[in-house]
Each structure stands twice: as C-alpha cells, then as structure tokens.
Amino acid sequence: MQKPLVSFVVPCYRLAAFLPECVDSILSQTFEDFEILIMDDCSPDNTEEVARTFTDSRVTYVRNEQNLGALRNYNKGILLSRGKYVWLISADDRLRRPYILQRYVETLENHPEVGLAFCPGVSLRRGKEGAVIDYSTYGDVDTIVRGEEIIKHSLKVKGNAILAASVLVRRDCYEKLSLYPVDVVWAGIPVDFIWGGDWYMWLLFSLHYHVAYFAEPMVCYREHELSMTNAITQEKIDICWHSELAVITMISQAAKEKGALTVYKACLGALANFYAKHCASKPYSWMGQTSWSTIDLQQVEATLDRSPYTEQEKAWIRSRIMVALAEIYYSEGDSVSARSYYLKGLKLKPFMLPVFLKLIVLSFGGPGRQVRELLRTAREHLVRG
C-alpha cells in the first residue's frame, strides 16, 4: 500500500462531541493525499460510535487498550502514522481553510530546510469564532524564518508562540530529534509535560530547522471546560511553572550541545525572566477565569542549585532575576520594591551600568519616569527603523 504524504494524528479523550467538526475540516481539504488516525485514549464517552460513522477509507480508528495519557497517546499516533509529514491536531480543534494543507505541503516540499509550518489561530467558543489569538501571530506576511529567530521570539513573549493546532511537522523531526518527552525530571522535580510539551518540541525542531510561517489565520482553537488547558490552569497550576522552566533549561542544554551560543544566552535571560514572573505571581487566564502561579525565592534557589549551569552562570541568572523583578514592580508603579530589587541585582553583579542608570532615574520620581518612558519610546523607534 502506498504511503500517504501527510498523516493527521487526532488524539481524542472525552471529545466525541467535537470530533466530527475536526475530521470533516480535514476531509474537506483540497490536498487529498493524507490519512487520519483517530487516537481514542479509552474515552468514557461515545468516541468509538462517532469515529465509526466516518466511511472515508483515509480514516483509521485506534482505541487504546488502556489509558496512556496525552503524551504517550501522541507518541503512539506518531509512530503508527506513515506520512512524510505529520499534523497532530486535537479532536476539539479544526482547520479553518480548505487550502491550508495545500499551502503547507507545497512549501515543505520546495524547502527541505524547513522542519515545520504554522499559522495564527482564531478562538472558537460555543461554536462561534472569536478574535485572532495574539500570541500565535508572527507578523503580517508569509515568510520562512531561521529557526533560531523563532526560538528567540518565543522566549521573549509569554511562552509558547506557536499554536499547536496549526503545526505541520516534517517526520524527520520526530525520527531524528525527539518524540514527546515523558517521565521528565527537572531540578529533581518530576514534570508533567502536558503543559510544556508542545513548546519544547517546536523549540527543539526550530533549533535544527527553518520554520515556515503563514500570516492568514487558518485554524480554530476551541475554548471549553473539558480542555486540558482549563484543567491545568484551574486545578494543577504548579505544572505550569515546573514545565516552563524545564523547557527553557532543556532547550538551553540542546543549544549548548549544538553550539548555538546566541540561543543558549537567550535561554539564560529567559530563565531569569520566567523565574521573576512566577515570583511576582504570573497570571493564567482561561475563559474569563484567572489563576496565579506564585513561587518564592527559596524555591528559586532550590531549583537553581540543582540546575546544570556553572556557578558563574547561576550568579548571572540570580542577578537578572532581581533586575527582572524590579522591572515588573516598576511597571506596576511600585517604586519602593523596584528600587529594592535593583539594589539586590547590583549586589549580586555590581557592574551592570544600565541598572545603575535606572536607579538614578528612579530617584527622580515622576520626572525620572517620564525620562525613562521617552528613552524607551526612542529605542523602540530605532529598532523599528
């Protein structure tokens, strides 16, 4: 039997109600050389009944004998798939345009240096499309980007900047680099990568390949109470900070091994910023509800001590955590706390001239804030050219 060019892996657990929309959006694609694997992870609902209604020969239904958990189910689907390209899309999401696969495949076929393609997504709630999801956009034009630039961009924003539902991956990425990591341990803490797994995969693949970006929002990402995002942010918030810091640490080590030193340095800065955000209480909002992830400096020290970095690098990270906290408090108008953390940062690393200058500006109160805002605006103007 001839192998399909593309494999869609559709993990499904308690999502039978949404499965038809997902599968139909794939079957309606103008590019038709694909297979669909519905990976039922022992759903307690009528997933099997719904899956059996699809009569298209390209659809295969697989029900696990026991519940594997999301990541192992993903990996099983990837290993069972036969395509040169693999699209992992949850049963509650859907493709928004019938030509998205055609556009992706043409680009990947013509550019062997590209390991994955993605696009922005539109939120979908109660059957109605909403706004474009801000973090999923990477500009207004289609482009092929050096993977290292995607990594740096992702590290600068809140976290994962690539919407999982939109990603088509070259099979070589999974075979040569990694499947989804399970049984991850970071700084002595077992980490459930159900939260950071996608982010880790996209960053790892981007470290070795270029990335194709399509500016048109061509997928829908569903927001609903049964989603994993809802369960994690409302009930298991510790998973978030464990995973985010583990992802950055693991990518930093992969970058160091590859000799990608600019990415390695960017990871150290991002690690400090993420520590600071969680120390200052990082919000996670989902469907109008917000949960807060908060850690203290003792937790920072406990995990940093067990990190793979040199003592010099740890000292650098500690100083940047203090400065990042100062910046957060300054942005919130808390000048007293900002000054305190700037001083702590300078105590750890005395020769940080920008921090010293910010302290001087801070001492001038309101006028100092105006000067700093003018300098920030001027710097952004220069960067934009």
At residue 157, φ and ψ (nearest 5 deg) are: -90, -170
Mean pLDDT of 296-312: 94
Q: Which amino acid is at 13?
A: Y
Record the pTM. Answer: 0.90
184 in helix, strand or coil? strand
Domain count, the chain: 2
Radius of gyration over every alpha carbon of the chain, rounded to an integer in angstroms:
22
Q: Which residues pair with 95 in a beta bridge?
A: 219
Same-domain status, 360 and 228: no
Same-domain status, 222 and 358: no
b/e code 22-41 from CB counts within 10 Å (16+ = b): bbebbbebebeebbbbbbbb
Q: What is the pLDDT of residues 318-346, one digit of tens each?
A: 999 999 999 999 888 888 898 899 899 99
| 138 is a domain residue | yes
What pLDDT band is residue 382 in, cutting at 50, 70 and 90?
Answer: very low
| 295 is a domain residue | no
| 109 is a domain residue | yes
Q: Please answer whether residues 186 and 245 qualify as being in contact, where contact means their C-beta atoms are separated by less than 8 angstroms.
A: yes
Q: Which two tokens stand for residue 16?
A: 């039978």
| 186 is a domain residue | yes
Mean pLDDT of 84-101: 97
| 268 is a domain residue | no
| 195 is a domain residue | yes
Identify the domain boundary among 208, 232, 256.
232
Identify the domain boundary among 232, 261, 286.
232
Same-domain status, 202 and 61: yes
Same-domain status, 58 and 191: yes
**Percent share of the chain, pLDDT over 90:** 72
| 286 is a domain residue | no
| 219 is a domain residue | yes
User: What is the Cα–Cα distance from 222 to 90, expressed in whole angstroms?
Assistant: 10
User: What is the Cα–Cα distance from 156 to 72, expressed in whole angstroms?
Assistant: 30
Same-domain status, 228 and 339: no
Q: What is the pLDDT of residues 241-299, one digit of tens each?
A: 899 999 999 999 999 999 999 999 999 999 999 999 999 887 766 555 677 878 899 99
**What pLDDT shows up at residue 230?**
55
Mean pLDDT of 305-311: 95
Identify the domain boundary among 210, 232, 254.
232
Same-domain status, 23 and 168: yes
How many residues can be counted in the chain?
385
Q: Which residues pair with 8 in a beta bridge?
A: 36, 87
Same-domain status, 228 and 334: no
User: What is the Cα–Cα distance from 360 to 23, expressed in whole angstroms?
Assistant: 60
Same-domain status, 175 and 57: yes
Q: Is the pLDDT of residue 367 over 70?
A: no
CATH code, domain with 149:
3.90.550.10
Q: What is the pLDDT of residues 203-253, one digit of tens each?
A: 999 999 999 999 999 999 998 666 566 556 555 778 888 999 999 999 999
Q: Please answer whether residues 199 and 247 qualify as being in contact, where contact means their C-beta atoms are separated by less than 8 angstroms.
A: yes
Same-domain status, 195 and 78: yes
What's the domain range around 335? 330-385
